[in-house]
Structure 1
Amino acid sequence: MNFKMLSFAVFFIFISNVFAQNKGVVTFKNGDIKEGLIENKGSKILFTEIEASQPEKIDHEDIEHIKTGDIEYFRSSPNSKKLEEFQVIISGETMLVARNIQTNYGSMKVENETSYAQSGKLTASQSTQVSRRVVRGPTSRGTIIKYFIKKPGANNIEQVYRLIVGDVDWIGYKKKVKKQLGDCKSLIQKMNDGDFKDDEYGKGAELAAIVLYYNENCSN
């Protein structure tokens, strides 16, 4: 399969904590489903079912799910009162979703610092040179993109990969992916063979290809 067209959607993830006046669908805990204009306000939404009507303020606790475009809101765990915002990278029965988080983490720097230490009967001219690793910063904000797999009927959304933009990748995602999608033997074999590896666009594109393959070949 050629997944290059997916890679741009995977890499350029810009998720805002507030989306203003977007058309979408709200699924309520009582089973009602309504379409209208939605604006997120932290732990509440402003919902206008008819564009000319007065907006209604609704608590997240009363809502099961929100969908507007490729942005969806759902709980990361059953005990969570607040809906969290995710961008859908791969839709289907099993989903690959992502969150964009602004943080100070991105500008950390690790440097080697050399100093001189005296011990025992050593004089200043006989001091010992000591080198140690020092973490400096942060001095500015960075971006972390977290990728999650959402399986149907699962109580939790499992994080499988974290990308620190402009810094380093957190590796070791295969073990987490295999835990979630290990029921598909052909997928695991392809992962072990390196079939999904994408040196040009990175792990985000690999994850997209993996979840897409799972949906097309392994979902019930």
Structure 2
Amino acid sequence: MKFKTLSLVALLLILSNLSAQHKGTVTFKNGDVKEGIVENKGSKILFTAEGSETAKIAHEEIEHIKTGDIEYFRTSAKSKKLEEYQVMVYGSTMLLAKNIQTNYGSIQTDYDTYSVQSGNLTASQTKQVSRRVVRGPSTRGTIIKYFIKKPGSDLEQVYRLVVGDVDWIGYKKKIKKQLGDCKALIDKMNKGDFKDGEYGKGAELAAIVLYYNQKCSK
């Protein structure tokens, strides 16, 4: 069975400029949740709530930031800095992507439209999304890292893709370490049921996490 989740264009997506302003929700470590305009500045953010002046806030004071499908997490509980990730699959267990531009030359910017699956496995339940895409001068200019985030756990990198080069091998062992409590999922992986050459490895990972959330997540 094929799981058509994300188009190849989505897998090549590069995150928007870190200094860009976005409307979002900030959850503070003291439990406060506020909506406003967020601008990331390295280890701090500029935050403007409605009716308030812009405030500079350190990452140490913040638990989580969400702006559209871009969210900020710590790689571990000990980390002070929040890192920016694109959420590829939502649910109790999430699939995140972090995209890195390598120094192969100048960066090009345009817009692409792609399909994102809403939470079920049927292609009819996808939605079209248009967003800013930043690319290097060649296909070798992008590295995409994929992470799994389970409730109460640190992020775990499960796959690294160097676009235009050799894929990083060994993701199955890492997936089984993170999601091995679901025997049905592992059986399907071993049978190759999630593989879809048309959409690539990112879509395969998305299908695996979607299946885990729907069939095995507690």
**C-alpha displacement at 1:6, in angstroms?**
2.1
Aligned to 2:40: 40
- Classify 1:8/1:142 alpha carbon distance in 2 versus 1 (closer, same or farther; 3 Å): closer
Aligned to 1:94: 93
**C-alpha displacement at 1:168, in angstroms?**
1.5
**C-alpha displacement at 1:20, in angstroms?**
2.3
Query: Equivalents in 1 of 2:38, 2:95: separation in Å?
Result: 23
Query: Equivalents in 2 of 1:19, 1:218: separation in Å?
Result: 38
- Classify 1:19/1:214 alpha carbon distance in 2 versus 1 (closer, same or farther; 3 Å): farther
What amino acid does structure 1 have at the position aligned with 2:72? Y
Aligned to 2:187: 189
Aligned to 1:125: none
Query: Equivalents in 1 of 2:91, 2:212: separation in Å?
Result: 10
Aligned to 1:146: 145
**C-alpha displacement at 1:5, in angstroms?**
4.2
Query: Equivalents in 1 of 2:85, 2:214: separation in Å?
Result: 22
**C-alpha displacement at 1:9, in angstroms?**
6.5
Q: Secondary structure at the match of 1:6?
A: coil
Query: Equivalents in 1 of 2:213, 2:92: separation in Å?
Result: 7
Aligned length: 186
Contact 2:2 2:194 in 1 (8 A): no
Aligned to 1:27: 27
**C-alpha displacement at 1:93, in angstroms?**
0.2
> Moved runs in structure 1, 4+ residues, more than 6 A?
none
Work out the percentage of aligned pairs sharing the same amino acid.
75
What amino acid does structure 1 have at the position aligned with 2:184? S
Q: Secondary structure at the match of 1:212?
A: helix
- Pairing 1:67-106 to 2, within 5 Å after superposition: 67-104=66-103
Contact 1:9 1:89 in 2 (8 A): no
- Classify 1:63/1:100 alpha carbon distance in 2 versus 1 (closer, same or farther; 3 Å): same
Contact 1:37 1:48 in 2 (8 A): yes
Say yes or no: does 1:161 pair with 2:171: no
Query: Equivalents in 2 of 1:34, 1:79: separation in Å?
Result: 24
TM-score (norm 2): 0.80
Residues 85-128 of structure 1: per-residue CA shift (max 9 Å, x gap): 0000000000000100112489xxxxxxxxxxxxxxxxxxxxxx
Contact 1:10 1:205 in 2 (8 A): no
**C-alpha displacement at 1:21, in angstroms?**
2.3
Query: Equivalents in 1 of 2:212, 2:23: separation in Å?
Result: 30
**C-alpha displacement at 1:2, in angstroms?**
5.2
Of structures 1 and 2, the one with the larger relative CO (CA 8 A, separation 6+) is 2
Query: Equivalents in 2 of 1:202, 1:153: separation in Å?
Result: 29
Q: Which structure 1 residue ranges, 5 or more long, are not aligned?
A: 107-139
What amino acid does structure 2 have at the position aligned with 1:16? S
Query: Equivalents in 2 of 1:61, 1:71: separation in Å?
Result: 19
Aligned to 1:127: none
Q: Which structure 2 residue ranges, 5 or more long, are not aligned?
A: 106-137
Give 1 or 2 for the bigger CA radius of gyration.
1
